[in-house]
Chain A
Amino acid sequence: MPAGTHEPNALPNAPYPQTGKPPRKMMSEARFAFWLLLPTIVLVCGLLFYPFVYSIYLSFVDLNLTKPWKGPEFVGFKHFTDILTNTEFWQSMKVTVYFTFVSVVSSIAVGLLVSLALNSRFKLRGLARSLLLVPWAISGVINGLIWQWILHPNYGVLNAALTQTGFTDRYIAWLSDPVLSLNMVIVADLWKSFPFVALMYLAALQSIPKDLYEAAKVDGANSFAGFRFITLPLLAPITLVLLVLRTIDSFRIFDLIYVLTKGGPANATQVVGYYLYKEGFQFAKFGYSAAGSYVITFFILVLVFIYIKKLDRHNDF
């Protein structure tokens, strides 16, 4: 939510207002704040900040696991240059970028369409809206379990449905083909991710005042023009937020891949999150893996920065 990065500036940063509060028995605000924040600070420093610093250290060090007599050795930027020149890393980046692009775009497109459909008045709308929460609340691991079963090459319900309705004449091994498997993983991800997008858009749509459309109608605009010139611009801020959130999520996808494909076939679904997990935890190359994860974080930050630049400008009219 780096959208928050500029929110604090927008806040009224006034000193404590001119109420007639008696200052004597109150402890100072800074002190009270400190006590309130103490548990959080302890936990965040101990379990986030310290591991964070430690992992930075790791990314500049070779632990020499298989040569214990050498001991940890400072290697400078070697891990970073290694990873940036590694073809398997770039291959996994390619997979990740494709996954992220298709997953983000499709979830936002589908989410928008769904929200538009749910925005008009009809019976059971509340129920429909609630049911969108079902895929949203399910974990990545269970999502993997569900889709593994749906996509099962020999007993899967998708194959059964397609053959029984005559779309295909034989069962397809969805996850055995490199191209197909990546796209099926995206479908599984889409199922879980679009409801969140739809719910966000729905809320945004409902906050648009109806009289805007009335006024446009009076001016002779048709409903498409209303959508193009009223709805879309007003959805821009929430779209920015969604883009940022969805990009971060997709770029870091791991659970689903771990359960569904383990990166196969032929690395076709090996996203960068899984690649780094493999390097770190299976090959015990922790420094390399930590360095890689910061490279990725850097990529994400750049992407987020670009979104904000682009969309904020877009937003100004």
Chain B
Amino acid sequence: MKRKLVSDLLLLLFAFTLLSACSGQGAQPAGSVGEGGDKETEQPEAKPADDKPFAGVVLRTISGPDETGYWGKLNKEFEDKTGIKIEVDTVPYGQQQQKLVNSFLSGGSTYDLFVMDVIDLPQYVEAGWVEPVDQWIQEEWKTDLLPFAQSAVVYKDKWYGLPWASEWKSFVYNKEMLKKAGYDRPPANWDDFIKVSKELQDKGIVKYASTWSWLQGEALICDFVAIAASKGAVFFDDSGQPKFNDEKSVEALQMMVDMLHKYKIVDPASLTFSESNVSNAMQAGDIAFELSWGIPQVGLNDEKQSKVVGQTEVARMPYSVKAATISGPMAYSISSGSKNKEAAWEYIKFLAGPDGAKRAAVENGVFPGWKSVIGSTEVKAAIPGLEELLEQGETAVNRPQVPWYHEWSSMMQVELQNALTQKKSPKQALDDAMDKTLKLMKENE
């Protein structure tokens, strides 16, 4: 009885095997016409109508998750308008670089378009992976970009795309919690920050006053650059020489270590947390302070995900020498391997030109990099707390712009964490980072 069942099952399995093997075999040559065929239809069809010169073109792009569905909506609109179809590969932030480099190495035609972080620009330009777009840039645009947003699209006097999201990190505090502790304004300098944090914890209002994105990742560099700048430190001087082991940087790192281990006002989990973990902690009401990208209050005032609706305010990050924060603008760019660069430019213009940027700001809360857009009344009305945000944005500093940024950053993350986990003193960690940076510079001369 059992034997019978077994052999029946076997027969079934093999029938299936044969079938799928055949179809598998059959699909192999067909693949280039079938699935791969989508990519082959890149050639415009026979006679496109005049108002849709690129009808039938398929553009492939790679970008981060489309949380709100806004980009999907826009892609549809764009297709209706121009006949250009947009295919999107959605990947989380950390995987994007890897996929792009793979694509570039095999000719760069996998993706026509991509979102490029400010830190990627020098490398991509030096390697010839990204297409210059100067020929299409309109004259009035050249003076309309905010300086930090410009650094994401212009490198060595050439344009490589349009600003897609021009964000910086803003300091956010929970005013209800502060009120409970007896404060009616946020801490202005770091000494105050430490004092207020301790008091919040002593009074049992929070377990830890703040959480930071100090994991071994890019987010740690962002926070460190912001804090160091607020202490007056400069990473590279004007001639490009690194000087981040000077007193001011060491003092900044020392303060971060002390906040973790001496004052215990920073959640030790920070060492494993990325930005989203921090935002979540703020939304959950676990902490009183955070440094957050973009327009933090959109999430914080969303009833569906936040327990602290209406309780938070944006303010300048505490500082001891000069107000500062970190910027992280991103550009939308064309791959130099793309076979449809003009169509790709149409898309970028639609998405990230001044008009597109305005829409994105109003409808999706994405920060525009254009001065004219930020100054417009629609945008002012649409973004909560714009004044405070802008005040902060003016103080934003960029990370170093070098072609070997990823290697430098990765090394730096480890040295910073060496200090934060107390494996090394801050001075030692930054000295070591300095040595390694000089070595990197020499290798890449």
Contacts and interface: CB of A to CB of B under 8 A. Distances in A.
Direct A/B contact, Cβ within 8 angstroms: yes
Interface stretch (B157-165, B316-324, B402-410): B402-410
B376 interface: no
B272 A282 contact: no
Contact of B417 (A68, A264, A283): A264
Interface string A270-289: 00000000100111101000
Contacts of B105: 63, 65, 284, 286
Interface string B105-135: 1000000000000000001001110000000
B435 to A, nearest CB: 11
Contact of B272 (A63, A88, A261, A284): A261
B421 interface: yes
Contacts of A154: 267, 269, 281, 286
A265 B417 contact: yes
A154 B284 CA distance: 12
Contact of B420 (A63, A153, A266, A283): A266
Interface in A281-299: 281-284, 286
B406 A282 contact: yes
Nearest to A285: B407
A176 interface: yes
Contacts of A266: 216, 414, 417-418, 420-421, 423
Contacts, number: 85
A265 B419 CA distance: 11
Contact of A67 (B102, B126, B269): B126
A262 interface: yes
Interface string B411-428: 001100110110100000
B98 A176 contact: no
A51 interface: no
B86 to A, nearest CB: 26
B271 A264 contact: yes
B217 interface: yes
Nearest to B403: A66
A185 interface: no
B215 interface: yes
A284 B421 contact: no
Interface residues of B, number: 33
A263 B414 CA distance: 10
Nearest to B444: A66
Interface in A244-272: 261-268
B268 interface: yes
Interface in B230-288: 267-272, 281, 286
B101 interface: yes
B215 A262 contact: yes
A283 B406 contact: yes
A52 B90 CA distance: 30
Most buried by A among B127, B270, B420: B127
A266 B260 CA distance: 15
A161 interface: no
B191 to A, nearest CB: 26
B216 A173 contact: no
B437 interface: no
B328 to A, nearest CB: 18
Majority-rule SS of B interface residues: helix
Nearest to A264: B216
Given A266-B414, A281-B101, A176 B127 contact: no
A176 B272 contact: yes
Interface string A153-179: 110000000000000000001011110
Contacts of A177: 268, 421
B189 interface: no
Interface string A129-161: 000000000000000000000000110000000
B127 A65 contact: yes
Majority-rule SS of A interface residues: loop
A281 B423 CA distance: 28
Most buried by B among A178, A264, A266: A266
B97 interface: yes
Given A154-B267, A282-B406, A264 B101 contact: no
B216 A283 contact: no
Contacts of B286: 154
A265 B269 CA distance: 11
A268 B407 CA distance: 18
Given A176-B272, A265-B271, A265-B417, A283 B127 contact: no
Given A282-B98, A282-B406, A283-B410, A263 B268 contact: no
A97 to B, nearest CB: 19
Contact of A265 (B97, B272, B403): B272
Nearest to A82: B443
Contacts of A175: 271-272
Given A154-B286, A173-B268, A177-B421, A265 B216 contact: yes
Contacts of B410: 278, 282-283
A31 to B, nearest CB: 21
Nearest to A278: B410
Given A177-B421, A266-B418, A282-B410, A66 B269 contact: no
Given A262-B215, A282-B97, A176 B271 contact: yes
A267 to B, nearest CB: 5
A267 B220 CA distance: 14
B216 A262 contact: yes
A266 B415 CA distance: 7
Contact of A264 (B217, B268, B269, B406): B217
Contacts of B102: 281
Contacts of B101: 281, 284
A27 B106 CA distance: 44
A135 B78 CA distance: 48
A66 B97 contact: no
Nearest to B418: A266
Interface string B48-90: 0000000000000000000000000000000000000000000
A283 B216 CA distance: 16
A282 B410 CA distance: 10
A284 B106 CA distance: 13
A68 B127 contact: yes
| Closest 9 pairs between A and B when the two form their complex, measured CB to CB | A264-B216, A153-B269, A266-B417, A176-B271, A173-B268, A281-B98, A173-B269, A66-B126, A68-B128
Interface of B: 97-98, 101-102, 105, 123, 126-128, 215-217, 267-272, 281, 286, 403-404, 406-407, 410, 413-414, 417-418, 420-421, 423, 444
Interface of A: 63, 65-68, 88, 153-154, 173, 175-178, 261-268, 278, 281-284, 286
Given A263-B216, A264-B272, 7 more contacts: A66-B444, A88-B414, A154-B267, A154-B269, A176-B268, A265-B216, A266-B420
8 contacts: A68-B128, A153-B268, A173-B267, A175-B271, A264-B215, A281-B102, A282-B410, A286-B105
